[in-house]
């Protein structure tokens, strides 16, 4: 079974390996992969590049009103097929989608 590049990118990002996450997301051929690519650039502070990938993913640009953690969870939900591609709404957006990725647990700060 082949795992989607977006899921692998999420996993590597959660482990703190942004270089490997970026490598994996570049192989992803999905809207979730494009969204994850946007997220990675947003996390790096590269708003211009993130904007390009948000457009490709069909997502609106996200600002500081949505935490990176909430966006990560929304991408994970999409990548595992758990919902429509809609951006999270603030920090109240909470899912346990990370558990579906091999039991990976993300701690909230």
Whole domain around residue 68: which residue ranges? 5-100
Averaged over 75-87, what is the pLDDT? 69
- Indicate the pTM of the whole model: 0.73
Cα R_g (the chain), whole angstroms? 12
Measuring CA to CA, which residue among 107, 84, 79 is closest to residue 97? Answer: 79
pLDDT tens, residue by residue, 36-79: 999 999 999 999 999 999 999 998 766 667 899 999 998 998 88
In a domain, 62, yes or no: yes
Averaged over 77-92, what is the pLDDT? 57
In a domain, 21, yes or no: yes
In a domain, 13, yes or no: yes
In a domain, 32, yes or no: yes
Give the number of domains in the chain. 1
Measuring CA to CA, which residue among 30, 82, 80 is closest to residue 59? Answer: 30
- Interatomic CA distance for residues 31 and 28, integer angstroms: 9
């Amino acid at each position: 079974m082949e795992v989607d590049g977006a899921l692998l990118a999420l996993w590597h990002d959660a482990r703190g390996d942004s270089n490997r996450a970026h490598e994996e997301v570049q192989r992803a051929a999905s809207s979730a992969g494009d969204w994850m690519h946007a997220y990675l650039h947003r996390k790096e502070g590269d708003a211009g590049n993130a904007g390009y990938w948000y457009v490709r993913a069909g997502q609106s640009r996200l600002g500081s009103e949505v935490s990176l953690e909430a966006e990560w969870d929304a991408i994970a939900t999409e990548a595992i097929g758990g919902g429509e591609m809609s951006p999270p709404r603030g920090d109240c957006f909470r899912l346990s989608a990370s558990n579906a990725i091999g039991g990976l647990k993300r701690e909230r700060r």
